[in-house]
Amino acid sequence: MSETTILSFLPNISLAQQNQEWVLHCQTATYSKNTLSLANCSQGILKAWQALCGDGGTREQLSSLVQETDGFSKLPEFYYYLEQFERLGLICQTFCADGTPLVKVVPLVPAPIFKIQVKIQVKIQAKIQEVSPQYSYVLSRFAYLHRHNNQIILESPLSKVQLVIADWRGGAILAELNQPYSYSQLCQKISGISANVVQQFLNLLDTAKMLSEVETGGEIAEDQQNALVQWEFHDLLFHSKVRTGRHRQPTERTYRFLGKIPPLPAIKSQVTDSVISLYRPDIEALKKDDLPFTLVLEERKSIRDYGDQVISERQLGEFLYRSLRVRNILKIDTQELSNRPYPNAGACYELEVYTIINSCDHIPSGLYHYNPQEHQLSLVSPKTSQVEALLVEAAQNNHHEQTPQVLIILAARFSRISWYYESIAYANILKNVGTVFQTMYLVATSLDLAPCAIGCGNADLFATAVGTDYYAESSVGEFALCTKPS
Asked if 57 and 119 count as a contact pair (C-beta separation under 8 A), the reply is no
| Confidence check: pLDDT of 98 > 90 | no
pLDDT in the model for residue 55: 95
Where residue 99 falls among pLDDT bands split at 50, 70, 90? confident
Percent of the chain's residues with pLDDT above 70: 93
| Confidence check: pLDDT of 463 > 60 | yes
| Confidence check: pLDDT of 383 > 90 | yes
Identity of residue 242: V
pLDDT in the model for residue 409: 99
pLDDT in the model for residue 356: 99
pLDDT in the model for residue 215: 87
Identity of residue 236: L
| Confidence check: pLDDT of 157 > 60 | yes
pLDDT in the model for residue 130: 59
pLDDT in the model for residue 274: 94
pLDDT, mean of residues 261-285: 95
Domain boundaries, the chain: 4-242, 275-483
Give the DSSP H/E element, type plus range, for residue 242. Answer: helix 233-242
pLDDT in the model for residue 120: 40
Q: 32-43: per-residue pLDDT in tens?
A: 457 888 888 899
Supply angle C-alpha 431, 435, 436, rounded to 5.
115
Q: Which fold has domain 275-483?
A: NADH Oxidase (3.40.109)
Q: 280-295: per-residue pLDDT in tens?
A: 999 999 999 999 999 9
| Confidence check: pLDDT of 205 > 50 | yes
Supply angle C-alpha 481, 485, 486, rounded to 5.
140
Beta bridge partners of 95: 5, 103
pLDDT in the model for residue 344: 97
Identity of residue 463: A
pLDDT, mean of residues 267-279: 94
Percent of the chain's residues with pLDDT above 90: 78
Where residue 129 falls among pLDDT bands split at 50, 70, 90? very low
The runs of H, that is alpha helices, within 325-414 are 385-396
| Confidence check: pLDDT of 162 > 60 | yes
pLDDT, mean of residues 129-133: 58
| Confidence check: pLDDT of 114 > 60 | no
Q: 391-430: per-residue pLDDT in tens?
A: 999 999 988 789 999 999 999 999 999 999 999 999 999 9
Q: Which fold has domain 4-242?
A: Outer Surface Protein A; domain 3 (3.90.930)
| Confidence check: pLDDT of 442 > 90 | yes
Picking from 57, 44, 61, 49, the residue whose alpha carbon sits closest to that of residue 25 is: 49
Q: In the sheet where 473-483 sits, what is the strand order? A: 275-277, 376-381, 366-371, 351-357, 406-413, 473-483, 449-454
Distances from the Cα of 416 to the Cα of 252, 254, 421, angstroms: 15, 14, 9
Q: In the sheet where 181-182 sits, what is the strand order? A: 181-182, 136-139, 211-214
| Confidence check: pLDDT of 116 > 50 | no
Which of 322 and 188 is assigned the larger pLDDT? 322
pLDDT, mean of residues 53-64: 96
Query: What's the chain's average pLDDT?
Result: 91
